[in-house]
């Protein structure tokens, strides 16, 4: 990065450390923190959307919709995460390419699946083999976000389903007695009140999501744990900056990162819980009412 770092073998002490910490590989490492944060920021709302959809479907009066909602939560929750992340992604990737293949190359005669090989016409590859490395990474990241959202959405669906059931029935009946339609009751009474019941479950999911990000590496996205292991491993003279096994220090750094992330989340979630309990017909809501008078 700096001109003075051109020949690492002549450096020593602080200069060496400074140059070492700014190598291209370290910049990739720092960048992977951004990748992980981005994954969290995008996945959380996406998983909530899946969860909300799943919960609404599971409570639907229309039987097929109800079956879809129930099947989604039951199936995804039942499959171990690691199986999901290893096989679902390959299947999804091949599915996308297969659909694209039908569209792009209708005249292709060779079989797509031959033994263990999967082969679509070159124009149907997603992304194209000529695409830059950036596109391949973006595609991998998008697959990762979708998979994470699908898995965590199933858990969120169950949490939200429980929360919707927990809203006192008397509230809904009162709303109906005032002449509101089902839709209005759902929008004005049920949804605003369910969050206080959903929050403990959702906050658990958020914490698990933070700690599940190393699964990214299974999906081919180079995350912070991959880089910590790669950078910390003992390096021979084949590398410009040889050093002994430093994995301990790198993993200590990661520990601090994860602890800070979970601590910050706890603070935010605590405030949110207090806010949502206001005026609720729960113990916490009652306590707040008594404290105010």
Partner 1 sequence: MKNLILTTAMLALTAGAALAQDVVRMGTEGAYPPYNFINDAGEVDGFERELGDELCKRAELNCEWVTNAWDSIIPNLQSGNFDVIMAGMSITDERDEVIDFSQNYIPPASSAYLALTADADKGGVIAAQTGTIQAGYVAESGATLLEFATPEETVAAVRNGEADAVFADKDYLVPVAAESGGELVLLADEVSLGGGVGLGLRESDTELKAKFDAAITAMKADGTLNTMITKWFGAEALTF
Kindly indicate which of the ranges 73-81, 198-206, 229-237, 269-277 contains the residues binding partner 1, using the contact rule CB under 8 A.
Answer: 229-237
Q: Which residue from 37, 55, 49, 34 is spatially nearest to 149, judged by alpha carbons?
A: 49
Q: Kindly state whether residue 129 participates in binding partner 1, applying the rule CB under 8 A.
A: yes
CA separation, residue 109 to residues 103, 118, 121, 232, 288 (Å): 14, 14, 10, 49, 71
Residue whose CB is less far from partner 1, 97 or 203: 97
Query: Which residues between 147 and 176 bind partner 1 (CB under 8 A)?
Result: none
Q: Which of residues 79-98 bind partner 1 (CB under 8 A)?
A: 86, 90, 93-94, 97
Q: Which DSSP state fits 243?
A: B
Q: Which of 74, 82, 123, 208 binds partner 1 (CB under 8 A)?
A: 123
Candidate segments 50-58, 63-71, 122-130, 153-161, binder of partner 1 by CB under 8 A: 122-130
Given 118, 135, 178, 249, the residue binding partner 1 (CB under 8 A): 118
Give the Cα separation of 213 and 180 in Å (integer): 44
Q: Which among 34-42, 75-83, 116-124, 168-176 is the span making contact with partner 1, rule CB under 8 A? A: 116-124
* DSSP assigned state of 203: H
Helix (H/G/I), strand (E/B), else coil: 131: coil
Q: How far apart are CA 266 and CA 101, in angstroms?
A: 47
CB of 130 to partner 1, least distance (A): 5
**Of 53 and 127, which CB lies nearer to partner 1 in the complex structure?**
127
138 makes contact with partner 1 (CB under 8 A): no
Rounded to whole angstroms, the Cα distance separating 193 from 198 reads: 9
Q: Cβ of residue 145: shortest distance to partner 1, in angstroms? A: 18
For residue 271, what are the β-bridge partners? none
Question: Two tokens at 155?
Answer: 């858990």
Q: How many CA atoms within 13 Å lie on the side-chain side of 152?
A: 29
| Residue 205 CB coordination number (10 Å) | 21
Residue 105 lies near partner 1 (rule: CB under 8 A): no
Confirm or reject binding of residue 234 to partner 1 (CB under 8 A). yes
DSSP line for 258-287:
HHHHHHHHHHHHHHHHHHHHTT-SSHHHHH
Which region among 161-169, 193-201, 233-241, 281-289 touches partner 1 (by CB under 8 A)? 233-241
**What is d(CA 131, CA 140) in angstroms, rounded to the nearest whole number?**
13
Asked if 122 is part of the footprint of partner 1 (rule: CB under 8 A), the reply reads yes
Select from 10, 109, 130, 293 the one that contacts partner 1 (CB under 8 A).
130
Q: Which residues contact partner 1 by CB under 8 A?
A: 8, 23-25, 27-28, 86, 90, 93-94, 97, 114-120, 122-123, 125, 128-130, 133, 136, 217, 220, 229-230, 233-234, 236-242, 245, 247
């Amino acid at each position: 990065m700096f001109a003075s770092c051109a020949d690492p073998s002549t450096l020593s002490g602080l200069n060496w450390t400074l140059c070492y910490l700014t190598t291209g590989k370290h910049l990739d490492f720092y960048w992977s923190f951004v990748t992980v944060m981005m994954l969290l920021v995008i996945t959380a709302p996406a998983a909530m959307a899946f969860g909300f959809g799943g919960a609404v479907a599971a409570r639907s009066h229309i039987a097929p919709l109800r079956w879809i909602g129930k099947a989604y939560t039951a199936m995804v929750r039942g499959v171990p995460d690691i199986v999901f992340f290893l096989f679902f992604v390959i299947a999804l990737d091949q599915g996308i390419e297969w659909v694209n293949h039908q569209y792009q190359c209708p005249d292709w005669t060779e079989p797509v699946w031959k033994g263990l090989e999967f082969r679509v016409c070159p124009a149907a590859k997603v992304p194209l083999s000529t695409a830059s490395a950036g596109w391949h990474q973006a595609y991998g990241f998008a697959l990762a976000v979708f998979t994470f959202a699908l898995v965590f959405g199933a858990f969120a669906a169950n949490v939200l389903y429980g929360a919707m059931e927990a809203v006192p029935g008397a509230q809904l009946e009162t709303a109906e007695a005032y002449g509101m339609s089902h839709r209005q009751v759902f929008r004005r009474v049920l949804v605003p009140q369910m969050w206080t019941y959903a929050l403990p479950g959702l906050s658990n999911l958020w914490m698990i999501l933070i700690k599940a990000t190393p699964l990214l590496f299974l999906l081919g996205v180079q995350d912070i744990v991959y880089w910590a292991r790669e950078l910390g491993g003992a390096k021979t003279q084949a590398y410009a900056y040889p050093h002994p096994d430093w994995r301990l220090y790198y993993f200590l750094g990661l520990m601090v990162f994860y602890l800070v992330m979970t601590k910050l989340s706890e603070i935010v979630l605590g405030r949110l819980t207090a806010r949502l309990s206001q005026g609720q017909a729960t113990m916490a809501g009652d306590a707040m009412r008594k404290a105010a008078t």
